[in-house]
């Protein structure tokens, strides 16, 4: 039985008319609470996007629950990390492609510093500066801030 939940508390329905699972409190008011379903009936992390508004008198049908973020399966963690890396890399490349001239210039600076030391008669410091400036320029362009 939950008396007064706070934002970020985790609840599980016992007698309330909600699908089984773990819910995170995302909003609290005098009239009740807004809950986001973040765990399935086995208390494993899920991303459903299901939002439920529960009237204050129905909160008695919930009990406190553990945060399901801490009990994700190792394979799910690895898969999620690889998916995130894949999407980040795609977004970075697409953002660079939107500004081809600036991206090519930044890449040229980076490559000149890395491989052009002998051909361009650069000192180690000059090559290092070109590498840093070119790398930072690529990151800046790829971040979408330009």
CA angle 126, 129, 134 (to 5 degrees): 125
Q: What is the pLDDT of residues 17-28, one digit of tens each?
A: 888 899 999 999
Q: Which of 99, 107, 104 is nearest to 130 (CA)?
A: 107
Q: What is the pLDDT, as a whole number, of residue 67? A: 86
Which residues, 6+ apart, have CB-to-CB distance to 4 below 8 Å?
Answer: 28
Taking only the tens place, the pLDDT of each residue in 79-128 is: 878 888 889 999 999 999 999 999 999 999 999 999 988 889 889 899 99
**Per-residue pLDDT tens for 32-75?**
899 999 988 888 888 888 999 998 888 888 999 888 877 667 77
Locate the domains of the chain by residue range: 10-70, 74-142
Please give the model's pTM, rounded to 2 decimal places. 0.51
């Amino acid at each position: 039985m939950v008396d007064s939940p706070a934002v970020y508390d985790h609840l599980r329905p016992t007698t309330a008319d909600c699908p089984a699972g773990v819910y995170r409190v995302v909003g609290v008011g005098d009239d009740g609470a807004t809950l986001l379903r973040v765990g399935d009936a086995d208390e494993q992390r899920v991303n459903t996007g299901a939002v439920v508004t529960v009237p204050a008198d129905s909160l008695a049908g919930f009990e406190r629950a553990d945060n399901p973020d801490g009990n994700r399966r190792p394979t799910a963690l690895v898969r999620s990390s690889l998916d995130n890396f894949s999407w980040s890399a795609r977004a970075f490349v697409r953002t660079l492609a939107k500004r081809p001239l600036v991206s090519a210039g930044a890449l040229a600076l980076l490559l000149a510093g890395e491989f052009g030391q002998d051909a361009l008669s650069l000192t180690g410091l000059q090559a290092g500066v070109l590498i840093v400036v070119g790398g930072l320029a690529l990151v800046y362009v790829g971040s979408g801030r330009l």
